[in-house]
Amino acid sequence: MASFEEVVRGRRSIGKVKSDPIPKELVEKLIDAAIWAPNHFRTEPWRFIVMTGEGRKVLGNAYVDIASEKWDEVSNEEREQRSEKEVAKAFRSPVVIAAVCAPSDDPRADLREELAASHAAVQNLLLSAHANGLGAVWRTGDPTYHPKMKQAFGLGEREQIVGFVYVGYPDMQQPEGTRTPGAEKTVWIEN
């Protein structure tokens, strides 16, 4: 079994995965790792929406609704082609997990901390995917934060999507990773 440091250093964004289904139990294992992220006041400000099979059309249709806002002067044929391309984005992996920040009503909870905890949950999910032989990529971008995306998933007024995690068995070579050494990014204040 790989050490924690090997898992952290070995994880990469894997954008090309096989269409093979992922067992539900394995997806649940990833989410179980996600929920152990640190969170201030134990608010657990996250939710996950798992899309598989035709369930991914919810995401695909939302991509179409958002992108089509800019298709004013496009022919019907071009509109259909662009729609197919947008829907296809949701089918790039057999499992897509929408990670949602669902802020607590606790008056002590700060939205910035709730978002940070939700992002930490996504990192745990990505690390768990890697440790379990899966490839994953965390996708965001303007459509992620669009009001129509929130509407597509029935999110509450205060809830927001922090990203979509595409998960599958890798179908590409894992890229080499590089980082600037931590010592070059660290300032020590002593005495």
Per-residue pLDDT tens, the chain, 191 aa: give them: 789 999 999 999 999 999 999 999 999 999 999 999 999 999 999 999 999 999 999 999 999 999 999 999 889 999 999 999 999 999 999 999 999 999 999 999 999 999 999 999 999 999 999 999 999 999 999 999 999 999 999 999 999 999 999 999 999 998 999 999 999 999 999 98
12 annotated binding-site participant: yes
146 annotated binding-site participant: no
Q: What is the pTM of this model?
A: 0.95
Class of domain 18-70+80-172: alpha beta
pLDDT of residue 100: 98
Domain ranges of the chain: 18-70+80-172
188 annotated binding-site participant: no
pLDDT of residue 1: 76
139 annotated binding-site participant: yes
19 annotated binding-site participant: no
Residue 139 bridge partners (DSSP): 164
pLDDT of residue 111: 96
Could you give the residue ranges of the DSSP H alpha helices within the chain?
4-10, 24-34, 57-67, 76-89, 111-131, 147-152
C-alpha distances in Å from residue 159, one per residue of 38, 48, 49, 91 = 19, 12, 13, 24
**Which burial class, exposed, middle or buried, applies to 135 when counting CB atoms under 10 A from its CB (0-12, 13-18, 19+)?**
buried
174-177 LR contacts (CB < 8 Å, sep 24+): 174/10, 174/12, 174/14, 174/135, 175/12, 177/9, 177/10, 177/12
- Alpha-carbon gap, residue 147 to 97, rounded angstroms: 18
- Alpha-carbon gap, residue 142 to 86, rounded angstroms: 14
